Amino acid sequence: MRVRQKPLDQQVIVITGASSGIGLATARQAAAAGAAVVLVARSEGALRQVCAEIEADGGQALAVVADVGDPDDMARVTREAVARFGGFDTWVNDAGVGVYGDSLEINLEDHERLFRTNYFGVVHGSLEAAHHLKERPGGGTIINIGSILSDMAAPLMGPYVASKHAVKGFTDTLRIDLQRQGAPVQVTLIKPASIGTPFPDHARNYMDEAARVPPPVYAPEVVADAILHAARRPVRTMTVGGAGRQMVLTHAAAPALADRLFGAVIPPLSRRESPKPARDSLYEASEGGEARIDAYGSRPFSLYTQAHKRPGVVVGAALLGLAAALVWRNREQIRERAGPTMRRGVERLPWSRATGTPAGLASTLH
């Protein structure tokens, strides 16, 4: 059965992790495009504030305070979305937490807690969405937020890297299972590179210094734009940020070299000289309310991601470029062969040299 992805102004979109970062940026952009949004997070105050902002601008928003690691909470999200809007068309699993530290130092309790949010939160949300969308006329879309760390490893983030690999594996398998059932559900994996959100400040940090994401850093709105593109167009997977894609390709082409390179370069780039935040969001809700942090800058645009969204334009431009290169390379032969033909054609015209063609015209054909 074919999925019918509606225009955004006809959709209801559930977004987990909507109180800050990528989730918040996505909620704002979706509401601005006319979608009704169901905002899910543990931070009640931040959710209420975001909903008030959206409604003040004429949008529709519903706040649901919930923990994605609790399957009963995710079932409640579905019930409240149905009660308020009659259901939903797209479900975005964005909620995530982080832990910075050496893999040998991070205790197992923190490791397990991270998986409860980052992996099982995606599982719980995806299963809720899949059961609902299978029965919804026209179906809908599940969008899971992975990372470039779904495809490679990085030091100081062992549990986070493992969780994002797990998210990719689950997402790809869910897609296959839904296809086998003939369910009208599009399943997408979005893989951001370094994004300028409050994530490092919300993460549990075993390091002595405050954490940061390594440059180059992209704005969360770039990811939000990719998410909403996938909500209305069939997308299997999309990497956000060309620099991240280059890192993944380096890891795939020369893994041993990449291990040494990333091990030497990433740790110093993952620290910044400022005090560590007193609290983190691993076990408790953060205050939320911020989509981005501009302390170390962020790129508002990714040419690579824009090209990925418009493959037809890219192929067309590549073919035109190839044609131009071939013409230039063979320009002498083309001129030799085309010149006499063009001159004969001109001479046959009523206003040819025999009937008074301007003298300068013939010279232009040589």
State both tokens at 28. 């704002």
CB–CB of 112/217 below 8 Å?
no
Annotation marks residue 283 as catalytic: no
Per the residue annotation, which of 119, 160, 206, 283 is the catalytic one? Answer: 160
Give the catalytic positions in this structure.
160
